[in-house]
């Protein structure tokens, strides 16, 4: 931690948490038909783009049609994964009681089974955000992305691993649930992965069959072009999702924490950790839509179950609260945040680029009770 939170007394932490709670309560009370109409319109747009993309690939012998088809299918996959799938599976629309918007029933267009993802992301990542050895999204089990991670020669390949993860991101997200790193350390048995692995094989089989067998065969002699088009759309989605997600937690000034620092957190302290451990990306309305509003990662981590379309309207308030309490609000354009992440990945591949962590400076409830 940087020590900025030294400015917060226990009373300030409580007041800080209460102000954020008030924002949440106001937005929840205001949810209604406009939010339902919004997500339904996004779903309709996504489906129309997918149909258009698949249809245009039937004319893939004509280069402009192939390019347009790939572009439409790429956007459809991005919308499905980011603004629709990610947010619906967070329970952002469970209050509608619409089965099509149920977090427990929704399945998305990617190889990672939704059930596995809800556990690793909604529970593990959002509960233990940026807590070393608890949040498995720190480095995804393959990267050294924080100076507190002990260096070993394996990490010399950091830039290569990051590039491969970006190119095959949907597969990385799927395999993330197998926890290979824990298996290697002897903390988990291969047999523990049987049920999770079977779900992966089933879902991956459906996805591969759809994109690389069924739809190519439907286009007859154009099958190779359709195969290539689908692969390009998946690659585009992978690179985009990787970029947005890594910019949400790994730019230079984002902090990490130890289990000891976060023991017995109050609500205010939990909010504080989410802000210090997250970063936003600036941009326009279309950009925010294409990121699934994960460009408002700070607001998302504060209120993960509030419809993401609401994040832009509360971002100014959240930033003002941060300024009021002397807390950082990490934000910047995509190129700046992405460069910061890339620089960190390269830097931390080397053994002399680790930094000792500053001890925690926000007193936990346990410390206060002992005082």
* The most confident of 130-139, 283-292, 346-355, by mean pLDDT: 283-292
CA 247-71-294 angle, to 5 degrees, is 25
Q: How confident is the model at residue 7 (pLDDT cuts 50, 70, 90)?
A: low
C-alpha distances in angstroms, 330 versus 49, 214, 220, 239? 34, 44, 50, 22
Which phi-psi region, left, alpha or beta, contains residue 130 (left: φ > 0; alpha: ψ -120 to 50)? Answer: left
What is the per-residue pLDDT for 341? 98
Query: Cβ of 225: how many Cβ atoms within 10 Å?
Result: 21
Structure tokens at 360: 């925690």
Which phi-psi region, left, alpha or beta, contains residue 172 (left: φ > 0; alpha: ψ -120 to 50)? Answer: alpha
Q: Angle of helix 334-347 relative to helix 158-167, nearest 10 degrees?
A: 140
Instruction: Name which of 76-85, 171-180, 292-301, 339-348 the model is least confident about.
Output: 171-180
Average pLDDT, the chain: 92
The predicted model scores a pTM of 0.92
Which phi-psi region, left, alpha or beta, contains residue 179 (left: φ > 0; alpha: ψ -120 to 50)? Answer: left
> Residue 352, class by beta-carbon neighbours within 10 Å (0-12 exposed, 13-18 middle, 19+ buried)?
exposed
Residue 110 has pLDDT above 80, yes or no: yes
Residue pLDDT, tens place only, 237-253: 999 999 999 999 999 99
Q: How confident is the model at residue 2 (pLDDT cuts 50, 70, 90)?
A: very low
Helices (H), 210-222: 215-218
User: What are the DSSP calls for 141-166, one per residue?
Assistant: GT---STTSPP-GGGGGHHHHHHHHH
Name the percent of the chain in helix, strand, coil, to the closest 5. Answer: 65, 0, 30
The more confidently predicted of residues 360 and 325 is: 325
Residue pLDDT, tens place only, 272-291: 999 999 999 999 999 999 99
The torsion defined by the Cα of 113, 66, 334 and 255, in degrees rounded to 10, comes to 20
Structure tokens at 18: 């209460």
Residue 34 makes CB contacts below 8 A (sequence gap 6+) with none
What is the per-residue pLDDT for 8? 85
Q: Among residues 82, 80, 102, 105, which one has the least CA distance to residue 91?
A: 102
Residue pLDDT, tens place only, 202-259: 999 999 999 999 999 999 999 999 999 999 999 999 999 999 999 999 999 999 999 9
Q: How confident is the model at residue 354 (pLDDT cuts 50, 70, 90)?
A: low
Query: Cβ of 247: how many Cβ atoms within 10 Å?
Result: 28
Residues above pLDDT 90, as percent of the chain: 83
β partners of residue 131 = 257
Residue 169 has pLDDT above 60, yes or no: yes
Residue 355 has pLDDT above 70, yes or no: no
Q: How confident is the model at residue 359 (pLDDT cuts 50, 70, 90)?
A: very low
Residue 52 has pLDDT above 80, yes or no: yes
């Amino acid at each position: 931690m940087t020590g900025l939170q030294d400015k917060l007394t226990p009373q300030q932490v409580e007041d800080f948490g209460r102000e954020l709670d008030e924002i949440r309560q106001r937005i929840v009370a205001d949810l209604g038909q406009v939010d339902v109409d919004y997500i339904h319109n996004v779903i309709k747009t996504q489906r129309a783009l997918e149909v258009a993309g698949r249809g245009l690939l039937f004319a893939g012998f004509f280069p402009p049609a192939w390019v347009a088809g790939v572009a439409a299918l790429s956007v459809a996959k991005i919308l499905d994964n980011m603004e629709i799938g990610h947010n619906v599976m967070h329970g952002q629309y469970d209050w509608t009681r619409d089965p099509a918007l149920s977090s427990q029933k929704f399945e998305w267009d990617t190889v990672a089974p939704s059930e596995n993802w809800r556990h690793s992301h909604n529970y593990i990542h959002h509960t233990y955000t940026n807590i070393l050895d608890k949040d498995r999204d720190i480095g995804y089990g393959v990267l050294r992305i924080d100076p507190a991670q002990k260096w070993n020669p394996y990490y010399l390949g950091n830039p290569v691993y990051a590039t491969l993860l970006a190119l095959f991101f949907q597969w990385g997200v799927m395999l993330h649930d197998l926890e290979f790193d824990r298996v290697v350390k002897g903390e988990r048995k291969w047999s523990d992965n049987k049920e999770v692995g079977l779900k992966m094989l089933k879902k991956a089989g459906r996805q591969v069959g759809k994109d690389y067998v069924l739809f190519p065969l439907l286009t007859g002699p154009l099958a190779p072009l359709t195969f290539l088009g689908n692969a390009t759309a998946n690659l585009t989605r992978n690179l985009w999702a990787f970029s947005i997600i890594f910019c949400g937690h790994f730019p230079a000034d984002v902090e990490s924490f130890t289990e000891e620092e976060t023991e017995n957190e109050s609500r205010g302290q939990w909010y504080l950790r989410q802000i210090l451990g997250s970063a936003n990306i600036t941009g326009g309305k279309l950009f925010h839509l294409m990121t699934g509003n994960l460009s408002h990662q700070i607001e998302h981590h504060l209120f993960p179950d509030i419809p993401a379309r609401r994040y832009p309207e509360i971002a100014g308030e959240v930033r003002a609260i941060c300024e009021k309490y002397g807390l950082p609000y990490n934000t910047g354009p995509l190129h700046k945040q992405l460069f910061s992440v890339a620089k960190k990945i390269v830097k931390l591949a080397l053994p002399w680029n680790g930094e000792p962590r500053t001890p925690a400076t926000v007193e936990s409830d346990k410390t206060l009770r002992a005082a």
